[in-house]
Amino acid sequence: MACIYSEQSGHYNFAAGPAMLPTDVLAQIREEIQDWRGSGLSILEQPFTSSAFKQLMAETDADLRALLEIPSNYRVLFMQGGASAQFGLLPLNLLRPGQGADYLESGHWARKAIAEGRRHAPVNVIASGADQDFTALPSPAHWRLDPLAGYCHITSNETANGLQLQEFPALPVPLVVDMTSDFLTRPVPVERFGVIYASTQKNLGAAGLCVVIVRDDLLQAPPAGLPAAFSYAVQAEQQSRFNTPPTFTLYVAALMLRWIKQRGGAETMATAARQRSALLYRYIDGSDLYHCPQKIQDRSSINVCFQLADAGLTEIFLDQAELCDLTHLRGHAAFGGVRASLYNAMPVSGVQQLVDFMADFEQRHG
Ligand SMILES: Cc1ncc(COP(=O)(O)O)c(C=O)c1O
């Protein structure tokens, strides 16, 4: 069967991650896979100890610092194991023996962080959105903070259930944030955080790298049992070269940072994110077939989650969308429905094509 909807023109990947990359970044990768910076070697063949690769790491650090206005008392670490490894590494790196941590239970990914955190330390859930099926964020006014906690962990954007924190409170304990799905999609007040961490496969390129931005005073000697490669202090001291960093993914992240910089930086990314998501939410809110259960003020500008009034139509919708090159729109297994992930590389034309498809589908099935 072919695409029934005739207006379709491009192929857009709405996957939650790894996500689509800009076509010009892909073209540059294609070129440099053969010969990187005139070295006669592929980027895949570069030793991480070469001066050219050290230069690339220094440029990546500098670009991140410029784009996020990272103060000089923060280290930028390039680590492996994804954000999921950080769920366990945070308590191991930041807490003293017996010390606990606060966690905001805002959705699927916060729950993962909590479950893993609990394996290493006492966890205090300061507030939960579970009683509202994670369709709204608990207001900071209701967070039950422990003044003795080693840190307070939040998830800035819940990728699976489409919620995004709009503001970050100043807290008496270090604020630690999983920014995996909205990293570099908007400016953030870095000085409010003790640690910011984000896997790169959504807004910053390929899978295999986790950027960890950590305040100097939180670096402590690795406790017994923590492998040195996963110690923030060790990697900070060795400029993320204690062992081989994920060189190719770092290179793609460097290209993405340049791409973001050329377009005007985090503020421009935020404007684009608002524009893309507003287009989609506006259509959903005006429709009888689709609805978005998330509370309006807490809706994510990155992962737009919605349901069809007749749940039986969801599979047909997803199948037809795939045929029309609008791919990977299936909602997260825990929440069902449809999810459109609109990361930095998604052009507004992709969202427009999705909205046109949805309108056509509604006419045929509404
Ligand atoms: C908010 C958030 N945190 C953590 C993760 C896990 O990242 P990784 O698979 O790189 O460990 C994801 C993945 O989708 C995510 O969206």
For the segment 278-291, what is each residue's pLDDT rounded down to a tens digit? 999 999 999 999 99
| Position 97 in a domain | yes
Residue 222 sits in the same domain as residue 343:
no
Same domain, 205 and 331: no
Point out the ligand 1 atom lying closest to the alpha carbon of residue 199.
Answer: 10
Does the Cβ of 83 fall within 6 Å of ligand 1?
A: yes
Q: Is the CB of 163 under 6 A from ligand 1?
A: no
The answer on whether 243 is annotated among ligand-binding residues is yes
Q: Where is 104: in which H helix or E strand?
A: strand 101-105
Domain count, the chain: 2
On whether residue 352 sits in a domain, the answer given is yes
Chain length of the chain: 366
Q: In terms of DSSP H, where are the helices of 69-216?
A: 82-94, 108-118
Same domain, 226 and 357: no
- Looking at 212, 228, 262, the residue that finishes a domain is 262
In 286-332, which ranges are continuous DSSP H helix?
314-323
Residue 38 lies in a domain: yes
Model pLDDT, residue 10:
87
The answer to the question of residue 280 being in a domain is yes
pLDDT score for 157? 98
SS3 state at 311: helix
Q: Kindly state whether residues 216 and 254 are assigned to the same domain.
A: yes
- Domain identity same for 326 and 276: yes
Q: What is the CATH number of the domain that holds 76?
A: 3.40.640.10
Query: Is 268 found in the same domain as 258?
Result: no
Q: Can you give the pLDDT at residue 31?
A: 92
Per the structure, the complete domain to which residue 290 belongs is given by 264-365
Q: 3-class SS at 68?
A: helix
Among residues 262, 277, 301, which one ends one of the domains? 262
Among the three residues 236, 262, 288, which one is the final residue of a domain in this structure? Answer: 262
163 and 53 belong to one structural domain: yes
Long-range CB contacts (< 8 A, 24+ apart) of 66-70?
Answer: 66/261, 67/184, 67/257, 67/260, 67/261, 67/265, 67/266, 68/184, 68/187, 68/188, 68/190, 68/213, 68/266, 69/187, 69/190, 70/190, 70/213
Q: Are residues 238 and 124 in the same domain?
A: yes
Do residues 170 and 276 both lie within one domain? no
DSSP code, position 142? G
Residues 190 and 297 in one domain: no
Same-domain status, 38 and 138: yes
Over residues 119-145, the pLDDT tens digits come to 999 999 999 999 999 999 999 999 999
Residues 161 and 258 in one domain: yes
Is there an atom of ligand 1 within 6 Å of 327 CB? no
Ligand 1 midpoint to CA 56 (Å)? 25
Measured distance CA(308)–CA(301) in Å, rounded: 20
Q: How far is the CA of 366 from the centre of ligand 1 (A)?
A: 35
- Active-site positions read 109, 178, 202
- In angstroms, the CA 64 to CA 115 distance is 30
d(CA 299, CA 182) in angstroms, rounded, equals 13
Residue 25 tokens read as 């970044």
Low-confidence stretches of the chain (pLDDT beneath 50): none
84 is in an annotated binding site: yes
- Ligand 1 centroid distance, CA of 189 (Å): 22
* Residue of minimum CA distance from atom 16 in ligand 1: 159
